[in-house]
Structures are given as C-alpha cells and as structure tokens.
Amino acid sequence: MEPAEQAPHEGAGASGPGGDGLEPTAWPSATVAPMELSVSHPRSGVSVIEVVGELDALTTPMLDDCLQELLRDGPKELVVDLSEVTFLGSSGLAALVQCSRRLEATGSTSRLRLAGAEHRAVRRPLEMVGLLPLFSLHATQDDALDHIASDATDQA
C-alpha cells in the first residue's frame, strides 16, 4: 500500500524550501502601517486628528507622537476623529488616556473629544475597560466642533 499523496496548499508551486516543490506563501509586509493620520485646524485653537485604519501596537506610536506635538504648544481643543478606525487595541486606548492626562496637566478645562465614538470598533473597547467617562464622546467630527463652539460661547 502506497502512502496517499497530499494535495499542495494554496500558493503551492515548484520552489519551496527544502526542495519540496512548494512555493513560499507571500505574507503582507509588516512595515506598511495599516493606519493613516491627518491633522487639520478648522478654527483657532482647535486641532482635529483624523485616524483611518487600525490603531494597535504597530500604529499607536504615530498617533502618540502627533498628539504630543499638538499639545506641546499649550492648552487647546483636541478632537480625535475615530470614525474610520477599524480596530482599537489596548495600546491605542493607552495613547488616548495619556493624551487626556497630558491635556489635563496643561491646565486646560477641555476634555479630549473623540468623534466617531458610536462605531462599534471604537465604543466597545472604551466601554469594556470603563473609559467612556474619561472622554467627551461625539457621533461625528461636526458634532464635536459644534460642542466646542457652544462651550466657547457659554464661557464668553
């Protein structure tokens, strides 16, 4: 009785390691960050950071650097728009908490505003670790900006 031949796995071919006739499987490059950031200043003293993609251990340092740079100039209103975030990991949560603490340490009366907070990929992690009360949560970026304008009018 001869052993049964195994069918090659997907991506198999003629040039695999060990001369087994299997082609190596192409893996996605780990050097390409699955996240994009953009910063805008829609009003004086207001910065908006739009995050697109995954916010995890690989990408969080980019966001953290951006947040630190924006806070370096002193107290201001910060909106982090997470409406296009597809994954929010623990390192992303930690960066948002640290930013909130830095904002508080500058003497600002503002809390970090998170837009897109109604999306499951954002709300669920915040909810699971009890961070919802720490931030000012808004459904959209426009909603967050309207609240900033309203707060400024109330303080004037």
Better pLDDT: 112 or 76: 112
In a domain, 113, yes or no: yes
Exposed / middle / buried, residue 89 (Cβ in 10 Å: 0-12, 13-18, 19+): middle
CATH number at residue 93: 3.30.750.24
Instruction: Return d(Cα 69, Cα 97) in angstroms, integer.
Output: 16
pLDDT at 76: 81
> Which tens digits make up the pLDDT trace of 73-96?
766 889 999 999 999 999 999 999
Structural domain of residue 132, as residue ranges? 40-155
The verdict on residue 67 lying in a domain is: yes
In the sheet with 35-43, reading across from the earlier edge strand, the strands are 35-43, 46-55, 77-88, 113-115, 136-138
Domains of the chain: total? 1
Name residues whose C-beta falls within 8 Å of residue 5's C-beta, 6 or more positions apart in sequence: none
> Is the pLDDT reported for residue 150 higher than 90?
no
- In this predicted structure, the answer to whether residue 69 has a pLDDT above a threshold of 60 is yes
Residue 148: inside a domain, yes or no? yes
Mean pLDDT of the chain: 82
Per-residue pLDDT averaged across 25-30, rounded? Answer: 58
Confidence check: pLDDT of 9 > 60: no
In a domain, 57, yes or no: yes
Is 19 contained in some domain?
Answer: no
Residue from 139, 99, 103, 144 nearest 123 by CA: 139
